[in-house]
A and B are shown apart, each in its own frame.
Chain A
Amino acid sequence: MSSASTAPASTAAAPASALADVTASDASLRRYLHGLPGVDAVGLEARAATLATRSIKTTAKAYALDLAISMIDLTTLEGADTPGKVRSLCAKGANPDPSDRTTPQVAAICVYSDMAATAKQALAAGGGERIKVASVATAFPSGRAALSVKLADTREAVAAGADEIDMVIDRGAFLAGDYGKVFEEIQAVKDACRRPGGGEPAHLKVIFENGELSTYDNIRRASWLAMLAGADFIKTSTGKVAVNATLPGTLLMLEAVRDFRAATGTQIGVKPAGGIRTAKDAVRYLVVVNETAGPDWLHPDWFRFGASSLLNDLLMQRQKLHTGRYSGPDYVTVD
């Protein structure tokens, strides 16, 4: 990153330009990230805990449950994934509750890059045309591969029809203080999200793996680093390490996107992923969105849940709210 002129001419140019000086050199980037306000861990966690006591009932709950369903990136990221498994997940995403057709569809199906094409076809065939296909890429989940491999991974996913790319950052480089390397990698992947034949580039979600970054100060720095490099979304975790999405970590990232919009005018989305399993948890996240970044982010374009088992709990709560009784796990589909 010897000069700003090496930055790929991508859609990232807009947000970065307002803070162009910041990314002009490794040193300036480092100074900027370390000059961000610190995070007091006790205070942040206390705030998240207070917001978690909000009591969301009746009409508000109905709204929140439907909103949460519509924000899910329904995910399968297993070594054992097969086309059959992916197709069944797509069917579930397009029609989450066969007993109630008013249930909203999920936002996206999230798969490994080799399953992106399968997912795209299955959604097109099964009434899920509006559902996005999100593909993880860049040597997910560890991010330990040569840049050329990561870019190839990304391009193949885009070519297979992925609408969104969930990349992981190089945590090793970040923790070693090599912010320039992380910045350039994000920019390069962003560039690889463009479609060779033109058309809407794939949206880029940048995964930090908060559990490995470990401190809140690091999460704030990673957020700004990714936003400056052109991320469309910032995402907490891969779901593959011990600590995944947490409420305080997500609150902190929501503060970052709020402040970034105030500084640059560009709105960035947030995606907590991993470990959000219950409707109660999901509603807590929505409260945190509402009272931190604000209602502008209460939309699947700006907030997503990376989850798999969450959907069924939301559906059971939704059935309970509409019928007045609990149905049980046999009344939601297992996919």
Chain B
Amino acid sequence: MTDQIFEYAPAPESRAIVDIAPSYGLFIDGEFREAADGKVFKTVSPATEEVLSEVAQAGAGDVDDAVRAARTAFAPWSALPGAERAKYIFRIARVLQERARELAVLETLDNGKPIRETRDADLPLVAAHFFYYAGWADKLEHAGMGPAPRPLGVAGQIIPWNFPLLMLAWKIAPALATGNTVVLKPAETTPLSALFFADVCRQAGLPKGVVNIVTGDGATGAELVAHPGIDKVAFTGSTAVGKQIARTVAGTHKKLTLELGGKGANIVFDDAPVDQAVEGIVNGIYFNQGQVCCAGSRLLVQESVQEELLESLKRRLRTLRVGDPMDKNTDVGAINSAEQLARIRELADSGEAEGAERWSAPCELPGNGYWFAPTLFTGVSQAHRIAREEIFGPVLSVLTFRTPDEAVAKANNTPYGLSAGIWTEKGSRILSMANKLRAGVVWANTFNKFDPTSPFGGYKESGFGREGGRHGLEAYLDVR
């Protein structure tokens, strides 16, 4: 037996727990209905390209209906005592926990991310977010935003495909807790978990019209943003679309928060805990296939330990298990869409063309679906596109620095400012670096750690406004 190898047998999560209907409508005023013009689009599983379901494409009239339903629901919902709203939100959180396995499987099918992540990261955080903001609902006068802060009204919310249900939670939980009603548009490639969430709302007995879900592409999103009946726009997505939205709402009464792209620097000093730094780098850029706005996509390593660290990192990358996201042992799943895969390929190719050295972990990629092997580039300079543009994929750009000042200068030398990481055993250095880094989140000796109590958001072109924590309430309260 000793000449055998320890090859993990497939351990697929059962998909029997989730029942996906052949088609889904829009969730407006507590009911599912088709789009007025009957248009639909397909959503596929990125790991297999299998069509999962057909989903309604909301047009201008549908968006209008949804906003009207939310407006009608706003008066009674916002008039409820906070403790009563909290009951509904707590109920939603509990239903989400009860259905966590089902939703994790659904999310993995629709998004392509590994079941280990949806099971152990996405779903627990989703429930935690609702629990956390449910707790705020009856304490808003103590949030430091005035003696009796008022809700804004109807919030139009647009979320990305990288953490579909978690981004929904980040948007809907604070909005409901503060007494707003919402019209939410999930991303075109990952509409299913939001539609299942609509069912969760029904199960929790949420009054109709408080949460409305309109599915569709960018055109639907544009209708929502431009609709005169909404009071607030909350968007998470690309910087390009964020800028368009800012133009649309400029000059209106609409309050806006944007959570956009990033090019996070993960800074490793020579006295870092090496093995944990390697784990942090892996978690920073290969978690969710690197499709994370706050990903640590630039590794800044002190020159004196570069060789040693890269050797450890490459050894670790060889153990990453890439493949079927439904397998419980998979570490890296599929890229969300063909379009995204093309973007990653284009940028990775530009890295090679511009002279950086490309290295990929040896791994067999499945024949169907959208896949990209975990990759790193060494010899990257600040001038390279792969050091400046957000790749939004499992591609790490490795740069070096010699002194803390140089690390700060390079880390801040980006139009973005969402996240950064510092790896050192020296506490005073963590504090001084954190003060100088222009990033909304600075992690010390860890990366990509999320908690509903902690505010999250960007500097510069990474957006404005904060989600999570007490600060996250401000985006949905009239504190102007």
Contacts and interface: CB of A to CB of B under 8 A. Distances in A.
A60 interface: yes
Interface in B104-138: 116, 120
Interface stretch (A48-56, A135-143, A155-163, A309-317): A48-56
Instruction: Summarize B's interface: helix, strand, loop or mixed.
Output: loop
B108 to A, nearest CB: 14
B331 to A, nearest CB: 9
Contacts, number: 74
Interface in B258-307: 271-276, 279-280
B1 A63 contact: yes
B72 interface: no
A290 interface: yes
Interface stretch (A37-45, A77-85, A185-193): A37-45
A46 B275 CA distance: 12
B428 interface: no
B4 interface: yes
Interface residues of B, number: 26
Interface in B1-17: 1-2, 4-11
B11 A57 contact: yes
A182 interface: no
Interface core residue of A40, A42, A66, A299 (most chain B CB under 10 Å): A40
Nearest to B272: A37
B275 A39 contact: yes
Interface string B359-399: 00000000000000000000000000000000000000000
Contacts of B6: 60, 63-64, 67, 286, 290, 295, 298
Given A37-B274, A39-B273, A57 B445 contact: no
Contacts of A67: 1, 6
B4 A63 contact: yes
Interface residues of A, number: 31
A39 B272 CA distance: 9
A44 B276 contact: yes
B5 to A, nearest CB: 6
Contacts of A66: 1
B319 A40 contact: no
A70 interface: yes
Interface string B439-459: 000000110000000000000
A175 to B, nearest CB: 20
B329 interface: yes
B425 interface: yes
Contacts of A64: 6
Contact of A42 (B2, B5, B445): B445
Contact of A54 (B5, B329, B425): B329
Interface in B418-474: 425, 445-446
Interface of A: 37-40, 42-44, 46-47, 53-61, 63-64, 66-67, 70, 104, 255, 286, 290-291, 295, 298-299
Which A-B residue pairs are the 6 nearest by beta carbons?
A: A43-B276, A55-B11, A40-B276, A55-B328, A40-B273, A60-B9
Interface of B: 1-2, 4-11, 116, 120, 271-276, 279-280, 319, 328-329, 425, 445-446
